[in-house]
Structure 1
Amino acid sequence: MSFEDIMQLQNKVGTKVYNEVAYGNNKRPETSKKKRLNKNRPMEISAKKPAPFLRQVVPVRKPTLRDPRFDDLSGEYKPEIFEKTYKFINDIKHQEKEVGGKQLKRTTKSNQRKEKLQFLLKRMENQERARKSREQQRERELQFKRQQRELANQGERPFFLKKSEKKKLQLAEKYQELKKSGKLENFLSKKRKRNAGKDRRKLPQQMQKKAA
């Protein structure tokens, strides 16, 4: 059959019928859809089905570690707000200190336990002293800022303290507090001994032997 005759026949009977006669019916038999035995159960699928070459992998997010102390998301650190928010911690520490003091009084036999309690109480006292010192320092700075603001409102030029001047004021206040409590002489004698020890360490070894 020539190509011309084939085209005429295809136009006469139609492309679909011609293809079925010429090439046969290549339609795949429709597979019956799998049904669930129970609507509450998942559908059973063969595990032998090969995985596609380019399968979509669900990406796993890598956990990002962050330190809240140095992260901007945690906000700006404001000591006065922090102290007000976590004031209950100071109350808990005070209660623990009282309990530790009572336990120390009751402990008479075990020297090791007594030393441990004494160390804990001393550490608590140092922490409390440091906290009060920080609070007093903040209060002094706030008071100084208020005074400077008032002077600026009156038209005067504000005055800003240097670090060395702040340190001098702190020492002066500390001396006044020690004088009121009657602990100034004890503090000064300890400081003299400490300074003498520092000076002795700075001296050459021969001079130290002569001094001894």
Structure 2
Amino acid sequence: MCFRPMEISAKRRAPFLRKVVSAKKPTSRDPRFDDLSGEYKPEIFVETYKFINDIKQREKEIVKKQLKRMKPTNVQKKEKLQFLLKRMENQERARKSQEEQRERELQFKRQQRERASQGDRPFFLKNSEKKKLQLAEKYQELKKTGKLDNFLSKKRKRNAGKDRRKLPPRELQSQSFQGH
């Protein structure tokens, strides 16, 4: 005797309260927006994944060694390695500046807590004021290293180029002055 599933005629309507076993759909979770993953705290993240910076540093050293051993005939590969090295250095610089920024913010928060414990009302910096302080700090750093003049001259050139682009072309300028 073989057991086959029961056949139901298509002519008859399905019962109104038919019991159907529903299969649970797998729900996907995005850890960035899900509360179950916890709250993102950059300090903890940096501390947990500190080992990655060591790995990146070792990789940078390997690329430097490969560049030194590179033969001058292989220009394309040498350019690739130089580009990679520059990118690694830029990433390192950006990471360090973010770390310094985070440290400054923590220092400011500590000062605020200290003032609040003494009875003063805390004040909060606007983003524009934060940017001004950051810029002032950058200028101080450039002044210490002696690169301020170079930086300012490049900035002047960049701004002059932007201003020149906003002006109408020279032919139009000369025509407009002759007509008046």
Normalised TM-score (structure 1): 0.69
**Percentage of matched positions with identical amino acids:** 75
User: Could you report, residue by residue, the CA deviation over 1:98-125 in whole angstroms, capped at 9, with x for unpaired residues?
Assistant: 1111111222221111111111111111
Please point out which of 85, 92, 107 is paired with 2:55. 92
Q: Which runs of 5+ in 2 are unaligned?
A: 9-18, 175-180
**1:176 lines up with 2:176 in the alignment:** no
Q: Which residue of 1 aligns with 2:26?
A: 63
Alpha carbons of structure 1 residues 59 and 147: separation in structure 2 relative to 1, 3 Å = same
Q: Which residue of 2 aligns with 1:14?
A: none
CA distance in 2, matches of 1:66, 1:208: 60
Q: How does 1:197-208 map to 2 (within 5 A)?
A: 197-206=161-170
Regions of 4+ moved over 4 Å: 56-59, 207-210
- CA drift of 1:57 comes to 7.2
Q: How does 1:129-148 map to 2 (within 5 A)?
A: 129-148=93-112
Alpha carbons of structure 1 residues 138 and 106: separation in structure 2 relative to 1, 3 Å = same
**1:77 lines up with 2:40 in the alignment:** yes
Q: Which amino acid aligns with 2:97?
A: S
Alpha carbons of structure 1 residues 65 and 186: separation in structure 2 relative to 1, 3 Å = same
Does structure 2 retain, via aligned residues, the 8 Å contact 1:200–1:208? Answer: no
Does structure 2 retain, via aligned residues, the 8 Å contact 1:148–1:159? Answer: yes
CA RMSD of aligned residues (A): 2.4
Q: Which residue of 1 aligns with 2:149?
A: 185
Q: Which residue of 2 aligns with 1:51?
A: 5
- Which structure has more relative contact order (CA 8 Å, sep 6+)? It is 2
Q: How many corresponding residue pairs?
A: 164
Q: Which residue of 1 aligns with 2:11?
A: none
**1:103 lines up with 2:66 in the alignment:** yes
Q: Which runs of 5+ in 1 are unaligned?
A: 1-44
**1:125 lines up with 2:89 in the alignment:** yes
Alpha carbons of structure 1 residues 86 and 208: separation in structure 2 relative to 1, 3 Å = farther
Q: Which residue of 1 aligns with 2:118?
A: 154
Normalised TM-score (structure 2): 0.81
Larger radius of gyration: 1
User: Could you report, residue by residue, the CA deviation over 1:47-78 in whole angstroms, capped at 9, with x for unpaired residues?
Assistant: xx331247x87644323233222322221111
Question: Matched residue of 2:91: which SS?
Answer: helix
Please point out which of 116, 127, 131 is paired with 1:167. 131
